[in-house]
Amino acid sequence: MLKVRGLTKSFGSNAVLRGIDLDVPKGKVVALIGPSGSGKTTVLRCLNGLEMPDGGTVALGGNGTGELRLDFGGKVSRKEIFALRDRSAMVFQHYNLFPHMTVLQNVTEGPIKVQKRPRTQAVEEAERLLARVGLLEKKDAYPFELSGGQQQRVGIVRALALRPQLLLFDEPTSALDPELVGDVLGVIKELAEEGWTMVIVTHELGFARQMADEVIFMDDGVVVERGPASEVLRQPQQERTQQFLQRLL
């Protein structure tokens, strides 16, 4: 579903991504872990068209006619970036809901305004998704009237409403009070079981172990180690991975 090769990105003289490769088969979950500043969020932002990489390729949607392939070594048009954004949807650490819009408006804004889907269809789908995460009765509320956990569940519904091929989660629970984390992780786990293709940046190692088909440890803009969650988290081969995991214990 997703194939990334040699992704590079610098901010001024700071080389933040120094050749990242990433493969996510359809229906699989990849967890990105690593120290703060190692480039994890930047990877997600590049995959969602929020940052323009300096080099590398991103192919999304499998082989054949349906594939979107962007080569950042050459010229990439705005149209291609919009196409990438249309196929991947991001769930942010701080939810990033529009504060002046109701829950329902937050969820339907993308499908109606950007994807030009019929309003009645978008509203129906939004209501169905909100019901699923137990928030239908909050559809006319504003974000400030919701708890962090509720806001993040709206953030997830907003991403799903775009019917993306790929879901990107950027530390989706790290801004939440501990008692609200479980609900949000529960929703993400259900999505994995349903077969969504996902990349998750997370500090929740227990969650990564449970959920992820593959764990990737990044440090300083490179992939240091990757493999099945049970191997990378339990028996890391690289010293940098070992040190990182020890610090979290």
Q: Considering only CA atoms, which of 118, 105, 152 is closest in space to residue 133? A: 152
Least Cβ distance, residue 56 to ligand ADP (angstroms): 15
Least Cβ distance, residue 96 to ligand ADP (angstroms): 15
Positions in 1-60 near ligand ADP (CB under 6 A) = 11, 14, 16, 34, 36-42
If the CB atoms of residues 30 and 161 are measured against ligand ADP, the closer one turns out to be 30
Positions in 93-112 near ligand ADP (CB under 6 A) = none
Q: What angle do CA 244, 247, 249 make, to 5 degrees?
A: 115
Residue 166: count other Cβ atoms within 10 Å of its Cβ: 22
Indicate the SS3 state at residue 172: coil
Q: Rounded CA gap, 11 and 110, in Å?
A: 29
Asked if 7 contacts 66 with a C-beta cutoff of 8 angstroms, the reply is: no
Least Cβ distance, residue 130 to ligand ADP (angstroms): 29
| 93 contact partners, CB below 8 Å, separation of at least 6 | 170, 171, 172, 174, 175
Q: Rounded CA gap, 66 and 117, in Å?
A: 20
If the CB atoms of residues 113 and 203 are measured against ligand ADP, the closer one turns out to be 203
Start-to-end Cα distance in the chain:
34
Classify residue 228 by its DSSP letter: -
If the CB atoms of residues 42 and 48 are measured against ligand ADP, the closer one turns out to be 42
If the CB atoms of residues 11 and 144 are measured against ligand ADP, the closer one turns out to be 11
Structure tokens at 131: 């019901």
Place of tokens 């214990």: 249
If the CB atoms of residues 220 and 231 are measured against ligand ADP, the closer one turns out to be 220
Least Cβ distance, residue 107 to ligand ADP (angstroms): 26
User: What number of chain residues touch ligand ADP (CB under 6 A)?
Assistant: 11
Least Cβ distance, residue 199 to ligand ADP (angstroms): 12
If the CB atoms of residues 49 and 61 are measured against ligand ADP, the closer one turns out to be 49
Least Cβ distance, residue 12 to ligand ADP (angstroms): 7
Q: Which residues bind ligand ADP (CB under 6 A)?
A: 11, 14, 16, 34, 36-42
